[in-house]
Structure 1
Amino acid sequence: MKDLIKFLTRYEKFVFIIMIVVPWLSAPFLGKKTFKRFTPGALFICIFVVIESLVAHKRLWWLFHKRLVPKVIGELPLIIGPFFIGTLWIMKFTFGNFKRYLLTNFFIDAFFVYIHVPILKKLGYASLIRLRKFNFLLIFLFKAVLLYLFQMIFEKKIMR
């Protein structure tokens, strides 16, 4: 584990770029129709997450200690990489079945909060400060419901 930490620390900018690029390699498999349909919702929730991150940093809910670009939030590689593309994939396979959507989000978010966040902490990338893991999970689930509502309204009002 120490060797992995040394490697990731030494090449952290490269790791951040990989974190962004690898999820985007799956984008062509989403299909053009899916990409067009769910991109507005994914953009909406990504913007929401950026605003949430600014509030979180101010209130010390969590901190990202390393950044791809100075003076830009440390969450950016996660937001524009796995979060954006993951949102599209989840919406593709679950939109229209809220129970499946919420269960899928619960398991993915729980994995992130309880497995991935401790790894990020060990790597010195990020850590929770004034927020418990359970509360962090609730925030993720709130965003999932918000995204679903946005997509429903978007499709009813705008996509007519």
Structure 2
Amino acid sequence: MTNQVIVWSMLILPWLSLFFMKKEEIRRWMPVALFTMVTNTIIIDIGVGLKLWETRVNIFPLDQMISFVYGVLPIAAMWIFKFTYGRFWLYFVIEILLSTLFIRVIHPWLHRRGIFIWLNQDFLKGIWIYVMTITHYLLIYLYGMWQDGKFARPHKNRS
């Protein structure tokens, strides 16, 4: 399999999985997916700027942004929210397990393929990658709660 097939698959295949999700669920969780895309774009861009990593294979017109930021990550967030929202500890455990898989298996595989290169291996091996990832997933969960109106004040009727 060529690297181009891999990066295109990371973009397109996850979106196709939405055919198996109800329209109401897509509408409900799409803000979480968009928030995940925006925050991951910021994280990847900061990492490129700090020379922690770089993208060497991507799809046109993306340059430094690897395609899983717009495919795998937002759609995975939608599916995870679909099955875990309202049960924070389940969400947290699932995110830790998937993050560990991503950090320890998928990232090294992308690195060996020459797609997404870690320039600072110490960051990947250290605890900071987990601190960053856990903080990010906590922000996504809080955003999902905010979108769901969990932080809204009850309105008092003035009649």
Give the structure-2-normalised TM-score: 0.85
1:41-65 Cα offsets, whole Å, 9 max, x none, are 2101210111111111010121112
- 1:10-37 Cα shifts (integer Å, max 9, x gaps): xx33332222111112102121111111
Q: What whole-Å deviation, never above 9, does each CA across 1:91-119 have from its counterpart, x for those lacking one?
A: 00001000000000000010000011111
Question: Aligned pairs, how many?
Answer: 148
Query: How far apart, in 1, do the equivalents of 2:93 and 2:109 lie?
Result: 23
Instruction: Select the structure of larger CA radius of gyration.
Output: 2
8 A contact 2:84–2:90 mirrored in 1:
yes
Percent identity of the aligned residues? 23
Q: Which amino acid aligns with 1:78?
A: F
Q: Which residue of 1 aligns with 2:124?
A: 132
Q: Secondary structure at the residue paired with 2:54?
A: strand
* 2:92 aligned counterpart, secondary structure: helix
Residue type at the aligned position of 2:85: F
Question: Which residues of structure 1 form unaligned runs of 5+?
Answer: 1-6
Distance 1:121 1:29 in 2: 31
Matched, 1:120 2:105: no
Aligned match of 2:7: 16
More helix by share: 1
Residue 73 of structure 2 corresponds to: 83
Gaps of 5+ in 2: none
1:81 Cα shift?
A: 1.1
| Aligned twin of 1:64 | 55
Which of 41, 48, 69 in structure 1 is aligned with 2:39? 48
Equivalent of residue 142 in structure 1, options 135, 140, 156: 135
Farther off after superposition, 90-99 or 64-73: 64-73
Question: Deviation digits for residues 108-150 of structure 1, max 9, x if unmatched?
Answer: 0100000111111110111222322332232221111000001
Contact 1:66 1:74 in 2 (8 A): no
Alignment of 1:27 with 2:9, yes or no, is no
- Output the CA distance in 1 between the equivalents of 2:23 and 2:62: 34
CA distance in 1, matches of 2:56, 2:63: 11
Q: Taking structure 1 as the reference length, what is the TM-score of the superposition?
A: 0.85
